[in-house]
């Protein structure tokens, strides 16, 4: 269930020297206009951000069908390498059991598309690479598939970590209807807390499926993989927990060295495949700022990947928070509304 935690109806006009005035509805705040009603701007914000259809903006994000029993979200970091949550290859509820064998890689298959109606089946898994760290502290694995995946654009893994107060872009295949999955995008998701292993992202905790990928909002590189739900689906502490991916760069490098013809499978049993690695493989060498819907038309905040819709005159468009080092795109100015600031189109 999604909850509108912050709805702002704000009126502004250039320079602001007034405090917010409480209205009858305590969830709604209004700043007095100084140049008449025609200069008013209304900002509608939803937290947690509900998410919108990705519409092909993140082609590196794929679905992984695990033994026909669950659907996980993964990200292609190479033509034949997909970064996934390790718990996808473990029996449900056994994420931290060290001796439980992984589900065999051959029982996983890549799905490319935007939703259950458009997904196209791709190659099957060849081997699962997992880090040599306790599973509760490292919910990351890499699935090497039998042949290159078509219809995707691999992206790289960012080399440095993340901190409280940062924002990320998250993409996940969520079960929005019974048995029907859709790739959902959320932009500028706030990071509530972070440590040496992972971070907490402010997003709906019970609408994510078995996985999700966090990306750098500027470069589009991978910064985290969904690990587990927060403590509650409701209330002010709604969040998801992600594993940092920068601390697993050696595993990523191992995946880039892997090739089906060059890797020697040491053991291939029902519980998983384990391998030694050799040869050099291709990896992404460029990064590109991800596509955004900022400036796109909206009616309410739920129409925007950022969860922010601005209304001014007859115009409504998606925007995002700014300030504290977070600059606005070209053509926008960061405008303060008391304790919050948003990007507004320059006039």
DSSP string, 97-108: -TTSPPPPGGGE
**Cβ(284)–Cβ(272) below 8 Å:** no
Up-side HSE of residue 211: CA atoms within 13 Å toward CB?
A: 29
CB-neighbour burial class of residue 288 (10 A; exposed 0-12, middle 13-18, buried 19+): exposed
Considering the segment(s) 61-157+247-276 as one domain, its CATH architecture is Beta Barrel (2.40)
CB-neighbour burial class of residue 17 (10 A; exposed 0-12, middle 13-18, buried 19+): exposed
CA distances from 337 to 19, 60, 95 (A): 9, 36, 44
Q: How far apart are CA 328 and CA 342, in angstroms?
A: 8
**250 phi, psi to nearest 5 deg:** -60, -35
Q: Tell me the Ramachandran region of residue 223: left when phi exceeds 0, alpha when psi lies from -120 to 50, beta otherwise.
A: alpha
- Is cis: bond before 48, omega within 30 of 0? yes
How confident is the model at residue 60, as a pLDDT? Answer: 95
Which part of the chain has CATH 2.40.10.10?
61-157+247-276, 158-246
Q: Which of 170, 156, 188, 171 is nearest to 287 (CA)?
A: 156
Per-residue pLDDT of the chain (347 residues; tens, 9 = 90+): 222 223 333 433 222 222 222 222 323 333 333 222 345 889 999 988 989 999 999 999 999 999 998 899 999 999 999 999 998 898 765 667 777 888 999 999 999 999 999 999 999 999 999 888 877 778 899 999 999 999 888 999 999 999 999 999 999 999 888 889 999 999 999 999 999 999 999 988 776 555 699 999 999 999 999 998 887 777 767 899 999 999 999 999 888 887 543 443 333 333 333 333 333 345 665 567 788 899 999 999 999 999 999 998 889 999 999 988 889 999 999 999 888 999 999 98
Q: Tell me the Ramachandran region of residue 114: left when phi exceeds 0, alpha when psi lies from -120 to 50, beta otherwise.
A: alpha
CA distances from 158 to 77, 136, 206, 253, 288 (A): 11, 22, 27, 12, 13
CATH number of 158-246: 2.40.10.10
Name residues whose C-beta falls within 8 Å of residue 294's C-beta, 6 or more positions apart in sequence: 187, 306, 317, 318, 319, 320, 329, 332, 343
């Amino acid at each position: 269930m999604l909850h509108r935690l912050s709805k702002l109806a704000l009126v502004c006009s250039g320079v602001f020297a007034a405090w917010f005035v409480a209205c009858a509805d305590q969830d709604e705040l209004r700043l007095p206009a100084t140049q008449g009603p025609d200069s008013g701007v209304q900002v509608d914000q939803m937290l947690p951000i509900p998410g919108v259809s990705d519409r092909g903006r993140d082609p590196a994000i794929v679905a992984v069908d695990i033994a026909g029993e669950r659907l996980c979200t993964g990200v292609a970091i190479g033509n034949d390498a997909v970064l996934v949550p390790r718990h996808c290859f473990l029996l449900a509820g056994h994420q931290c059991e060290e001796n439980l064998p992984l589900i065999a890689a051959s029982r996983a298959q890549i799905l490319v598309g935007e939703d259950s109606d458009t997904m196209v089946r791709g190659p099957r898994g060849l081997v699962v690479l997992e880090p040599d760290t306790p599973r509760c502290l490292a919910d990351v694995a890499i699935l090497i598939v039998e042949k290159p995946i078509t219809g995707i654009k691999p992206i790289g893994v960012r080399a440095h970590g993340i901190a409280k107060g940062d924002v990320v872009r998250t993409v996940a295949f969520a079960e929005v209807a019974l048995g029907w999955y859709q790739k959902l995008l959320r932009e500028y998701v706030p990071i509530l807390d972070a440590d040496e292993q992972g971070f907490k992202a402010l997003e709906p905790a019970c609408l994510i499926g078995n996985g999700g990928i966090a990306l750098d909002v500027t470069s589009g590189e991978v910064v985290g993989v969904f690990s587990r739900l927060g403590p509650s689906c409701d209330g002010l502490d709604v969040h998801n927990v992600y594993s940092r991916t920068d601390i697993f760069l050696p595993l990523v490098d191992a995946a880039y060295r892997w090739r089906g013809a060059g890797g020697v499978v040491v053991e291939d049993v029902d519980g998983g495949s384990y391998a030694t690695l050799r040869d050099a493989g291709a990896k992404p060498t460029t990064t590109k700022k991800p596509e955004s819907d900022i400036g796109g038309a909206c009616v309410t905040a739920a129409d925007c990947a950022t969860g922010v819709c601005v209304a001014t005159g007859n115009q409504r468009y998606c925007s995002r928070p700014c300030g504290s080092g977070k600059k606005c795109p070209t053509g926008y100015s960061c405008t303060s509304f008391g304790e919050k600031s948003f990007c507004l189109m320059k006039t």
